[in-house]
Amino acid sequence: MTEMVYGTVPVQSGDPVLPRWWRTIDKWTMSCILVLFGIGLLLGLASSPPLADRNGLEPFHYVTRQAIFGGMAMIVMFVVSMMSPTLVRRLAVLGFLCAFVALAFLPVFGTDFGKGATRWYSLGFASVQPSEFLKPGFVVMAAWLLAASQQLGGPPGKAYSFVLTIMIVLMLALQPDFGQAALILFAWGVMYFVAGASMFLLILLAGLVVFGGTIAYSYSEHFARRIDGFLSPDLDPNTQLGYATNAIREGGFFGVGVGEGQVKWSLPDAHTDFIIAVAAEEYGLICVLVIIALYAVIVVRSLLRLMKERDVFIRLAGTGLVCIFGVQAMINMGVAVRLLPAKGMTLPFVSYGGSSLIAGGIAVGMLLAFTRSRAQGEMADILMRRANR
């Protein structure tokens, strides 16, 4: 934990991989992720037994699976965080291409599991949601294109990344999965802004969002129902939002006590989309504030480290990854307190879900790789090298 007290430690050439990784990794971010995963397991012990009972399974069936998937996610996170940015980029582009193909074939081979949206491939023993694995790969791919466009004689990466973004957003909207589509669009918008945004394209993008929302509301019953439910002044207490709102109210500051919550017996998604309602009811506002603080530390720490980064690709990719991570957490908690329409989005590293956990491990591993301390060189030396080219 030397870095936490004394600051970053210079990297020495020729060091073994593991000691160099330990000196350069952002230990605060890594520690917060591990704490979030631990909190997720603790909340899973409270929220998943009722669902297991309804499905005729062992009481801790879902907790066991969450521990297995989460362990895999942690391993993936550590391995990816040890990679160089160049290797991360190459693997991410390959992963993106695979996830893109999988997303394209979802209407043919995918299933909706009775939820009204075709988002998964059923493998029998488990399910895979391609959009979860698409997000980190897309961010790196888009960052690569945007960074390439800033090089002399480089390709029109901004235009290519915009076309790619629109394609993915349309594919996700057809599932329908408007939450993931909004995340993809938001991530690209943030990276484009950091790369040097054209006001015309930003205004065009805002207009497209409004136009797309209007079309979706007019022609998608799924989308319209969620928007109408959000805008309605009356909240049906027998809906998921009604149960979650009541649970948060009942929890107060210190909660009703471990295992004493009732919302987990009423909410079918208590262990996934509405896990924060279980936390608020049983452990109170204090637990929720701790969870929010952990996410805030991850986002702020990562952005502060990325501000010092002079490699355009690393800065853009890291910013996109941390923004998707933070906004997804904000959306999940915002839905539970009825600040946002219901979107069916997990709380990173806390909610149950194999695809979400493993894809989150990949994304955070990339973020840790991009935010590792590395020799930047003096700015004057960099400008001198460029002038001598």
Q: What is the pLDDT of residue 217?
A: 80
- How far is the C-alpha of 206 from the C-alpha of 355, rounded, in Å? 30
**Helix segments in the chain, DSSP class H:** 2-6, 17-24, 27-54, 61-81, 85-104, 106-109, 130-148, 157-173, 178-196, 199-219, 221-231, 240-251, 275-307, 312-336, 354-370, 379-387
pLDDT of residue 144 exceeding 90, the answer is: yes
pLDDT, tens digit, for every residue of 169-214?
Answer: 999 988 888 889 989 999 999 999 898 877 777 788 788 888 878 8
- Residue bearing the bigger pLDDT, 240 or 354: 354
At 94-119, the pLDDT tens digits run: 999 999 999 999 988 888 876 767 88
375: three-class secondary structure by DSSP: coil
Contact, 349 vs 360, CB < 8 A? yes
**Residue whose structure tokens are 């996934």:** 272
pLDDT tens digits, 53-78: 888 888 888 899 999 999 999 999 99
pLDDT in tens, 19-52: 889 999 999 999 999 999 999 999 988 888 888 8
- pLDDT of 388 above 70: no
Confidence category of residue 5, pLDDT binned at 50, 70, 90: very low
Residue 222 has pLDDT above 90, yes or no: no
Of residues 290 and 108, more confidently modeled: 290
CB 313 within 8 A of CB 85: yes
Q: Which residue has the higher pLDDT, 21 or 215?
A: 21
